[in-house]
Amino acid sequence: MTFLSYLIQGISLGSIYAIIALGYTMVYGIAKMLNFAHGDVIMVGGYMCFFATSGLRDRFADGSVAQAVIPNLAGLLLAMFVCTLLGITIERLAYKPLRQAPSLAVLITAIGVSYFLQNGAQVLWSSNPKICSSIIGKGVLSLGQLSISHVILLTVVVCVVIMLALTWFTGNTRMGKAMRACSEDKAAAQLMGINVNATISMTFAIGSALAAIAGVLFTSAYPTLQPTTGALPGIKAFTAAVFGGIGSIPGAMLGGILLGVIETFAKGYISTQVSDAIVFAVLIVILLVKPAGLLGKQVAEKV
């Protein structure tokens, strides 16, 4: 029973990592850059949802269906809208000028953007933590002694849906094919008549919208929201993406969930003190055995 409840907790935590990792891996897969600001876009999404829900909730009668649905829906939509705009703006201002620059410069810029967003949030919204309310209430599904909160069920479902949708999108649509072409060879894609800049902007727009969804779900599951909220889950999710094979969409989901499960088991059965060390030791072992990650493709470089 303890095993099962740890497993469920691990999957819960992992599904949150997975949903963040999906955004990371998608941007990396197409634009071939690590967008370290991804975690902070999540934080912005959380704040947008918080403001929309707390601002609108009082306008509806207590306990009515409208109160349960409209503020939360508005919060999600506002978060997605603002984050998409933010993602496109960041790409346009910070990354586009560096398209031809060495990847190290882009990496450092991404870290800079991350700090800019954190400090900007601190100036705008103060650093005092805010407690978000869950977008689908506090319900719990009980199965005997086991309990799973509705937020987690929703997160797992959303995660699977996003993974399938992204896989379909990149595989079957014109835009998706353009994205894959860009990821393989930007110059060749341009020669084939693909608008590389528009494609990369689109990638950031989708990645940021995913970050908004992740932000809303993250703050629903772990309600304390502050300007640094996104930073550490972002790093963990990045780890998950590498674990699963960065650039691979199903890999991000698998990596996220495995990371959550390993972390929870390490905490529960070994020690809460060294759980992170164990998680990263597992990561090192996996990368030694499979350098491209669990589902990553080994691409032979032609010289």
The answer to the question of residue 100 lying near other proteins (CB under 8 A) is no
Q: Count how many Cα atoms sit within 13 Å of the Cα of residue 124 in the half-sphere of its side chain.
A: 12
Cα–Cα distance measured from residue 116 to residue 136, given in angstroms and rounded to the nearest whole number: 31
DSSP 136-188: T-S-EEEETTEEEEHHHHHHHHHHHHHHHHHHHHHHHSHHHHHHHHHHH-HHH
Interacting span for other proteins (CB under 8 A) from 2-10, 102-110, 189-197, 251-259 = 2-10
Judged by CB under 8 A, does residue 101 bind other proteins?
Answer: no
Whether 19 and 254 have beta carbons less than 8 Å apart is answered as no
Question: Whose Cβ is closer to other proteins: residue 223's or residue 250's?
Answer: 223
Options 64, 122, 173, 195; binder of other proteins; rule CB under 8 A: 122
Q: Is residue 38 close enough to count as binding other proteins by CB under 8 A?
A: no
Tell me the CA distances in angstroms from 36 to 41, 63, 183, one per residue in order: 10, 40, 19
- Is 180 exposed, middle or buried (CB count within 10 Å of its CB: 0-12, 13-18, 19+)? middle
Residues that bind other proteins (rule: CB under 8 A) add up to a total of 46
Angle between helices 196-221 and 150-172 (to 10 degrees): 170
- Give yes or no for a contact between 257 and 295, defined as CB atoms under 8 angstroms apart: no
Reduced to 3 states (helix: H, G, I; strand: E, B; else coil), residue 225 is: strand
Contact flag: residue 217 with other proteins (CB under 8 A): no
Taking alpha carbons only, the member of 56, 81, 58, 49 closest to residue 71 is 56
Return the number of the residue (60 or 222) whose C-beta is nearest other proteins. Answer: 222
Whichever of 13 and 206 has its CB closer to other proteins, that residue is: 13
Could you say which of 129, 137, 171, 291 contacts other proteins (CB under 8 A)? 129
Q: Select from 41-49, 75-83, 128-136, 287-295 the region that touches other proteins (CB under 8 A).
A: 128-136
**Quick one: which of 66, 69, 93, 161 contacts other proteins (CB under 8 A)?**
93
103 or 122: CB nearest other proteins: 122
Is residue 67 involved in binding other proteins (CB under 8 A)? no
Residues that bind other proteins (CB under 8 A): 2, 5-6, 9, 12-13, 50, 54, 92-94, 96-97, 119-120, 122-123, 125-133, 138, 140, 147, 149, 222-224, 226, 228, 232-233, 235-236, 264, 267-268, 272-273, 275-276
